[in-house]
Amino acid sequence: MANTTTWVIDPMHSEVLFKIKHLVISTVTGSFRKFEGQVVTQGDDFNDAKVTIAIDVKSIDTNQQQRDEHLQAGDFFSADQYPQITFESTSFKKTDGNDYKMTGNLTLKGVTKPVELHVEYGGSENNGHGVIKHGFEVTGIINRNKFGMTWNKLTDTGGLGLGEDIKLIANIQVAELVEEAV
C-alpha cells in the first residue's frame, strides 16, 4: 500500500477569491480571509487526492463594509445560520500535464451540490526552511441560484443587477502536516 501524506493549506500564502457581474457592465471581486483545508495523497503525486476545505463566511471582504454586511445577511449567505462554506472532493484526476479535474460536494447556505473545478498544479519548491510546498490554482464557475442565493434586483433597463454565475479563483499553497511528538 502506498504511503499516505496529509498536506495542509498555508493561509499566509493562499487566497480564495470570487468575481460576480454587477449591473451587467462590470465585475466585483471579493475574497474570504479565513479558511482552512487539507489534501491527503496516496503515493508520490496528487492524482486521486482527497481535498477538504472550510471557509469562514464572516471573513468575506469586498472592500466595502456595507456590502460585506449585506452579503452576510439573509439575502445571501445567512452567515449566522450557516457560518461555513465547505467543499469535499469526490474525484481528483489528472487530465493533461499539470491540469487536473476536481469534482466534489460544495455546501453553501445549507445546500449541498456537486461541482466541477479545474486545478492547475504550479509545482513544488523547498521554502528555504526544509519544508516542501506545492502550489495550485483552482478555478470554476458556481451558479449561486442553485444554492438558494436568489436575491437580485433589476436595472432600469430590465437587466439583472447581479450575475447568477460566480467565478471562483483560489490560489492554494500546501505544506506537509508534521505531527509533533507529545
Query: Per the domain annotation, does 134 fall within a domain?
Result: yes
Q: How many CA atoms lie within 13 A of 173 on its CB side?
A: 13
The residue that leads in pLDDT, 62 or 128, is 62
Task: Compute φ and ψ for 10, nearest 5 degrees.
Answer: -95, 100
What pTM was computed for the model?
0.86
The stretch 39-54 carries a mean pLDDT of 90
Query: Per the domain annotation, does 59 fall within a domain?
Result: yes
| pLDDT class of 116 with cuts at 50, 70, 90 | very high
Q: CB of 85 within 8 A of CB of 107?
A: yes
Query: Per the domain annotation, does 180 fall within a domain?
Result: no
> What is the number of structural domains in the chain?
1
As given in the structure block, the three cell numbers for residue 6 are 496529509
Whether residue 9 has pLDDT greater than 80 = yes
DSSP lists the bridge partners of residue 53 as: 37, 87
Average pLDDT across the chain, whole number? 84
Task: Give the pLDDT score at 45.
Answer: 82
The per-residue pLDDT for range 60-108, each reduced to its tens digit, is 998 889 888 888 887 778 899 999 999 999 999 999 999 999 999 999 9
Residues 55 and 38: their CA atoms lie apart, in Å, by 12
DSSP lists the bridge partners of residue 6 as: 40
Query: Per the domain annotation, does 182 fall within a domain?
Result: no
Query: Per the domain annotation, does 179 fall within a domain?
Result: no
Boundaries of domain holding 33: 4-174
Query: Per the domain annotation, does 125 fall within a domain?
Result: yes
Q: What is the CATH number of the domain that holds 143?
A: 2.40.128.110
